[in-house]
Amino acid sequence: MPAKTVETAKTVEAEPQPLAAEFLGTLLLVFIAVGTAVLSSEYIGTLGIALAFGFVMLALAYALGPLSGSHINPAVTLGMYCAGRLDLPTAVRYWIAQVVGGIVGAALLFLVTKQVPGIVTSEAFGSNGYGNRSAVQINLGGAFVAEILLTMVFVYVVLSVTHKVAVYGFDGLPIGMALAVVHLVGIPLTGTSVNPARSIAPALFAGGAALTQLWLFIVAPLLGGALAAVVHRVTHPQRRGGVQGEPELR
C-alpha cells in the first residue's frame, strides 16, 4: 500500500468532519458495546462482550477511519499526540468530542435500560471497577497495572498499523481484534476500560463507587497510551511521526 503523505494527514485533521466522527464513534461504542455488557451479559458472557467491543471497533474503523482515524478513545489520541501525529489543539478537540459523545451514548443507553424491568443501574451500568467491583476481586495496584498494560498493547497496535491519523485498507482488522483480545483479559479484572471516555460515560449514570474509582480508569489508560508511543518509537524507528515530519513508511 502506498505511503500517505503529511499533507494527507493534515487534510484529515483540518476538516470539520473528524470531530463529528469522533463524537459519533464514541457514542456508538458506548451505546452498543457497553450496552451489550449492560443488557446481554448473562446471555453471551465474557466472550460475547469482548467480541461486541471488537466488532464495533472494526466497523467504526472502516466507517470513520478515513475521516478522523476512528480513535474514539482519549488514550489512542494521546498516543497519536506523543508519537507526533497530532498537534495539541487537535488532540484536545478530539478529547472533548470523545467524552461528550460517550456521555450522550451512555444517556441514550440509560434511557433504554430504564425501560427493561429488573436491570440494576446503580453502581453498575457497565462501569469499571476493582476490589469488590471486580469479578476476581483484583486490588487497586493490580487494576492500575492491568489497565496500563492492556491499553499499551491496544494503542501500540493502533500506532503500528495506521498511517498518521487516518485508517486505510485493512488497518481496521487488527485494531478490532486487539480490542477484543484485551477485553478477554480485562473483563474479569476490571471490566476493561482501556478508554477513559468509555469509563467516564457509564460511571456518571452509575454513581457511587463507580465514580469514586473512576480516576484509575482515566489515569491508567492515558499512561498506557503514552507508554505505547514510547515503545512504538523504539520498535519502529524508521516511522517518523510529527505533523511537520517526512512521509511515513509502511
pLDDT in tens, 70-96: 999 999 999 999 999 999 999 999 999
DSSP 86-121: S-HHHHHHHHHHHHHHHHHHHHHHHHHHTTSTT--T
Which pLDDT score, from 0 to 100, does residue 119 have?
83
Residue at 151: amino acid letter: T
Q: What is the pLDDT of residue 247?
A: 34
Q: What spatial distance separates the first Cα and last Cα of the chain, rounded to whole Å?
A: 8
CA distances from 15 to 18, 46, 198, 224, 242 (A): 7, 38, 25, 28, 18
Residue with cell 489497565: 147
The beta strand positions in the chain, using DSSP E, are none
- Whether the Cβ atoms of residue 22 and residue 68 lie closer than 8 Å to each other: yes
The crossing angle, in degrees rounded to 10, of helices 216-235 and 140-161 is 40
Count other Cβ atoms within 10 Å, centred on residue 187.
22
pLDDT for 157 equals 96
Q: Identify the pLDDT of residue 237.
A: 86
Residues (pLDDT < 50) of the chain are 1-13, 240-250
Q: Which three cell numbers stand for residue 18?
A: 473528524
CATH of domain 6-235: 1.20.1080.10
What is the pLDDT at residue 206?
95
Q: DSSP state, 53?
A: H
The pLDDT score that the predictor gives to residue 120 is: 76
The pLDDT of residue 4 is 39
Cell of 71: 480513535
The burial class, CB within 10 Å (0-12 / 13-18 / 19+), for 177 is middle
3-state secondary structure of 238: coil
Question: Model pTM?
Answer: 0.88
Best CA proximity match to 214, nearest among 229, 202, 228: 202
Cα–Cα distance, 208 to 25 (Å, whole number): 27
